[in-house]
Each structure stands twice: as structure tokens, then as C-alpha cells.
Structure 1
């Protein structure tokens, strides 16, 4: 799958940001749709097939809370789990990103979005979709293996995003567990669990690049 035939829905209530993102993606070869609210996003998703969604988490009527973005993620998980969502975080970016991952986001980007980061994240999403489609082609031959592989693939993508976020916040805070817990909205024991889960230590910060390179 190339950018040329990929379709992306940009969901942001700020027309300036939405327009800039749409122009960037169109120049890269994407076919772009735009929506300014949860209802518009769901309406577009019901009428048009898209490969990925670039989703602002804070939208009216609660611009300072991630509720509207989480509602879109929940809808996608229920009706279109194959669509990959990249969330944009503004206020409280770490805790918002963690919530979004738990609700099925494929990746997260902090505002203001860097064009090269957005395109790289979309490239990873499309590679993941391509891999999933290849598995589906074998559906009639290895049904059980397919189900397991697709389940593992979803888990892997979520783990990659979770690892990336936790590792990033640990590095930003010099492994201050109390501060990491505050930023992510977790208890300290949850942070210790995640550190153990991913084997995160000070010298392991380069793991994020290796995990991010996996399909």
C-alpha cells in the first residue's frame, strides 16, 4: 500500500490545523477527508472507507478533556477495528496518550505536529495494514493461525505504542517514578509494573527505536 491510494480522515475542530494537515497529507499523495467533531467523524466513517484517522483528542463541547476523542476511538474499535488511528495530544499529553492507547490508538503525536513524524507514523500504520491484509489472504488455508496472528498483531501494535510512551516519559523525568505516575495518571505500582513488563532501565532507552522499526 502506498500513500497514493491511501485514504485518511483528519478530525480536528480547529480549521487552521485541519487545513494544514490536509494540505500536508494531500501533497504526500493521500486522499484526505476532514471532520470537525465526533459526529462529523462518525458520519464520514460510515459513508467512506478510510485506512487511517488523524484524531484530535480535545474537541467541543469539552475541548480541554479527551472525552470526544475517546468516543471516536471506542466507535472505531466497535465498528472499524481495522482502521489505524493516530491521536494528537495537546493539554496533558502524556496521560491523554496513555488513555488513547488503552482505547485502541495505533500511535500518538504531540502538538504542534512535526510533518516528518506524522508521515512516518502513517507509513508504519499502512505497513501494519498491509501485513494484516496479507494474513487475510491465507484465511481459507490457516484459519486458526490467522486468528492468532491478527490477535497478536493488534497486541503488538498496542504494546509498541505503550512502550514508546512509557519509555519517553521515563527519559523525560530521569526515571522519576512519582512524576511518571503523575503525568500518566497512574499509580506508582502501575508504573513499576510497566517498567518490569518492558524491561525498562536507564540503559535501555534505545529499545524504542528497535520496537518502532518492527512491522
Structure 2
């Protein structure tokens, strides 16, 4: 069944109102004479396309009220296609209207046929954009670089930098908080480099005791120390011809920093207990969440080692600094874990989306992934709620109309009643003061399970 296409005409000229009302076949047409009426109809009917006369009362000879109406429409429903019509300083008004977010401009006197074509095209573009958003929600975005899911300008800038740096055989230092995807970016850098045929070897310097870290990095000969029952290659040797990723490089002790610096200068190592120099050709990529400048100032990190490791420095923004990525990644993880766990969860409830946008994400992407994984497990219906995410603090934005508010309230009331009635439909309906058929309809409508 084809959806009804709703068109809102905002025009104060009564004769033109009548002419326009009957000019559009195939649309459900609503007419407003001023800003207040236009906003009321926008909230009530949610039209996809609006034609807007800029000369509205109380400023029919100017454009002030028209632009105020345009701003109000786009503030409440940003995806609305607004076609602005005016005879007041047409060119200047047209440019200003486009800057304010209008989709198109038409100069009076109005030609019904030409305006009809513009309106038809506006509906077509709106439908295409809606489908694109639906597909984007389904796929949860595309991998921008090395499997990194992002649409944020702040993060896309980082991935473009790494793409440019990858072919050059220089050392790269990634600076960013824990959970921001430093290892993922390091792997992407390796795959985009000329060394992608070699191994990518990663070691977390903070996760290995100081007494063992030297052996892990440089390897050891048989009998070099108690327990060294065989000769073992270190991570540096294992990365021969490839890339060595030193995660949390700031945790390397000073004594070992000297040995690492010598390797970077000479590209030769000696295993613990060994006497034979071993040439190793590997690229170093390192990362840390610590303030390296402060560590150098405090004498905890050698400045000469820093300059060897940080030929290129890339700073990675936190999730809170990545515009729009929290919602994008949440949908990605929802799809990932719903599939892995054979879950029926398919979407995020409005309160969950609001909570995700409002939360500061101190644990960054790692925290978001863990919360989404838990939510997929805990969700009772097909939509994840803020409670499922253990994020009760999300404040809902001002709604376009009561539909979203009612849905959230209905979901909460039904969940509480089901819990009190231990899943019994008859008792749940009694608690809610509705009939069983009505409750079944609501459960189906909101994708809830008894």
C-alpha cells in the first residue's frame, strides 16, 4: 500500500490558498495562514514537504516572519523539504533561504505547473533520503578504514591522515584514551602499507610484568635464565618484514627504553643470553593513553626515544568527541550481537537513542560495545531500551508530537505491569485497565514480548 504523501501549504493569501489546495492531485494537502498554524499542523500531520510563503503576517510585506517559520519547521523536523516562495527581493531571499536550510526556492508570481514539478521532485528526494537512512540504520554504516566504523568528521580526518601516512615507512605514534580503537587503526595502517604481506605483531606493554617484558620484546636463548628451556624469538623478530605495534608504550621501564632506542637506531637486536646480533627490518607503530609530554618532563620517558617513535603523531578523539558515532556504532553492535546470539532484537527505542546521545562514554567504544552486548542479552522485546543499556539518565529531546512520548510511556507501563503480573496477560491487562485484545495489539505494535 502506497503511503499518503502529505503537503503543507503556508500561505496567507486566501485566493492563492484555494488555488493551491486543489492544484495537487495525489497529495493530502493542509493549509496554514501563519507560523502558529503551520507549526500546529507540522506537529499533528508531520508532512514531508512544505511550500512556504516568506511574506507572512504580522510582516506580510517583509520576510522576517517567513524565515522564523522556516527555522521553526526545520528545528522540529530537519528532514522536511521546504520550498520557499516569495516576491520580496527574490535573489537575495533565495540565497538566504538556502543558507537557512530550504530545499528550493520559487519566485512569485506562481506558475502552478512549475511549482507542481518542484513539489513532486521534493517528495521523490525525501523518499530516497528516507530509504537511504533506513539502509544506513540496517547496515550500521560502512567501514571507513581498516574496519573502523565511523561517519564523524573528527574521526574521518584521522583515518585520512593514517591512509596518507601508511605507504611511508615511518614510525607512527597514536595518542588517545583507552577504548578509542588504537589497535584497529594500527592494523589498518599495516594493511594499507607496503608491509601488508608481513606479520602484524602486537604487544601490550602494560599487560606484561617488567621482568618479562624484555624477553617478550627481544627473545632469549636457551638457558639464559631459569625456565628458559628453549630459544625463543621475541616480538620484534616475529615482526620481521611487517609491523610491530607497541600498545601502551608509555609503560616501558626506563632501562628497557634504552635497549629499545638502540634497536631503533641500529635496527639490530640481541636476544637475552645471546651474543649474536640479529638484523630486523620492521616498522614500529606505538600507542599510549598517557600524557607523553608530562612523562618526558618528569623523566619517566626518554625524549630521544619519543622522537624516534613519534616521527608522525596522530591524536585520536574520544567517542564523546566524535559527532554522531555513538548512535552509528550502537546500531552496528546491535546487528553484530543480535546475529551472533540469534536474538530477535532489531532496533533501539527512543529513550535508548536519547541515552546514547546524552552519555559521556568514559570508556569510549569499548564501553559502548560492552553495553550493547549486554543490552542484546537483557532486552525483553525487539527494541533495546535505556534500562537495557543500564543508562537511565538519557533525557528525551523535545518531541515533534506526542507519539514518541506516548510510545515511551506505554512501553514503560506495559513492562512494569508484565513484571508485576509475572507475564500473565489477563492480569497485566487488568493492571493497565485495558482489554486483552488491546494489550495484544500494543505488544505487537511495540515489539514487546509477554
Out of 69, 72, 95, which is 1:72 matched to?
Answer: 69
Number of positions where the alignment pairs a residue of Structure 1 with one of Structure 2: 145
Q: How many Å separate the matches in 2 of 1:6 and 1:73?
A: 20
Q: How many Å separate the matches in 2 of 1:116 and 1:107?
A: 16
Q: How many Å separate the matches in 1 of 2:97 and 2:17?
A: 20
Q: Is contact 2:6–2:45 with CA below 8 Å preserved after alignment?
A: no
Distance 1:144 1:74, change over 3 A: farther
TM-score (norm 1): 0.62
**1:109 maps onto 2:106 in alignment:** yes
Q: How many Å separate the matches in 1 of 2:34 and 2:26?
A: 24
Give unmatched runs, 5+ long, in structure 1.
Answer: 149-215
How far the C-alpha of 1:147 sits from its partner, in A, is 8.6
Q: What does residue 85 of structure 1 align with?
A: 82
Query: In the TM superposition, what whole-angstrom CA distance separates every residue of 1:145-185 from its partner, at most 9, and x where no partner exists?
Result: 8995xxxxxxxxxxxxxxxxxxxxxxxxxxxxxxxxxxxxx
Q: How many Å separate the matches in 2 of 1:147 and 1:111?
A: 43
Q: How many Å separate the matches in 1 of 2:142 and 2:55?
A: 40
Structure holding more helix per residue: 1
Moved more, 80-89 or 126-135: 126-135
How far the C-alpha of 1:91 sits from its partner, in A, is 2.0
Q: What does residue 93 of structure 2 align with?
A: 96
Q: Is contact 2:63–2:88 with CA below 8 Å preserved after alignment?
A: no
Within-5 A mapping of 1:123-142: 123-138=120-135, 139-142=137-140
Q: How many Å separate the matches in 2 of 1:106 and 1:55?
A: 11
Distance 1:144 1:103, change over 3 A: farther
Within-5 A mapping of 1:140-159: 140-143=138-141
**1:45 maps onto 2:42 in alignment:** yes
Q: Runs (4+) of structure 1 moved beyond 6 Å?
A: none
Q: How many Å separate the matches in 2 of 1:126 and 1:11?
A: 17
Q: Is contact 2:50–2:81 with CA below 8 Å preserved after alignment?
A: yes
Query: In the TM superposition, what whole-angstrom CA distance separates every residue of 1:124-152 from its partner, at most 9, and x where no partner exists?
Result: 1112111112112221313358995xxxx
**1:14 maps onto 2:22 in alignment:** no
Q: How many Å separate the matches in 1 of 2:142 and 2:75?
A: 22
**1:24 maps onto 2:23 in alignment:** yes
Q: How many Å separate the matches in 2 of 1:141 and 1:21?
A: 40
Distance 1:141 1:32, change over 3 A: same
Q: What does residue 161 of structure 1 align with?
A: none
If you compute each CA radius of gyration, which structure gives the higher value, 1 or 2?
2
Give unmatched runs, 5+ long, in structure 2.
Answer: 144-148, 152-450
